[in-house]
């Protein structure tokens, strides 16, 4: 689990960026999950951060990050697996981004964009489960109903990435 401080300088050459490079290069964990406040990709009111897309996402993609969780926009959104600024597959190194900003404050309208697999302006939380070679994310509304889910199964790939 990598906590990226997107409220500080995180571009190439910054202390945050250098730390992130070192952390990603030194891990041998089978799953890499990044979380931050500001999203790289969001179709909500505030939108995604181009600087994150251009400077940080290529680094995350190159080091096999599986999912990114962010907030800021008061919506739920799940992207397609993204690599090199386009939709792809997890097997091709695509990273799925979640905007999970529906924790209780007023909600924004969810618009959708080229990268959007699912979006909704709804109060919610995410339930994340990692079970060996399987990762599951469920978006759950205030009634306890799962309204979106994402699964990544690497059991056929052997151990590790």
CB count, 10 Å around CB of 54? 13
Report the SS3 class of residue 132. Answer: coil
Q: What is the pLDDT of residue 157?
A: 66
CA diameter of the chain: 45
157 versus 48: which is more confidently predicted?
Answer: 48
pLDDT of residue 111: 87
Please determine, for residue 161, whether its predicted confidence score (pLDDT) is greater than 80: no
The closest of 97, 34, 47, 114 to 74, measured between CA atoms, is 47
Taking only the tens place, the pLDDT of each residue in 86-106 is 999 998 989 999 999 998 789
Assess whether pLDDT exceeds 80 at residue 15: yes
Across the chain, mean pLDDT equals 93
Give residue 39's pLDDT. Answer: 97
The partner residues of 63 in beta bridges, in order of sequence, read none
pLDDT tens-digit readout, 69-80: 999 999 999 999
> DSSP of 49-63, one letter per residue?
-HHIIIIIHHHHHHT
Adjacency order of strands within the sheet including 146-153: 124-131, 134-141, 146-153
pLDDT in tens, 19-49: 999 999 999 999 999 999 999 999 999 999 9
Cβ 71 vs Cβ 105: under 8 Å:
no
pLDDT of 159 above 60? no
16 neighbors 10 (Cβ within 8 angstroms):
yes
């Amino acid at each position: 689990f990598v906590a990226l401080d997107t409220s500080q300088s995180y571009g190439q050459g910054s202390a945050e960026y250098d730390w992130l490079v070192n952390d990603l290069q030194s891990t041998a964990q089978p799953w890499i999950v990044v979380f931050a406040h500001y999203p790289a990709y969001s179709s909500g009111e505030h939108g995604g951060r181009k600087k994150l897309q251009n400077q940080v996402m290529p680094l995350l993609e190159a080091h096999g990050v599986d999912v990114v969780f962010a907030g800021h926009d008061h919506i739920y959104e799940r992207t397609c697996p993204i690599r090199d600024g386009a939709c792809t597959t997890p097997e091709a190194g695509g990273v799925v981004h979640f905007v999970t900003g529906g924790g209780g404050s007023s909600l924004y309208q969810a618009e959708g964009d080229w990268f959007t697999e699912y979006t909704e302006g709804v109060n919610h939380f995410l339930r994340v489960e990692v079970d060996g070679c399987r990762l599951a994310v469920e978006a759950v509304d205030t009634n306890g109903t799962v309204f979106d889910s994402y699964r990544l199964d690497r059991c056929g790939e052997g151990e590790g990435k």
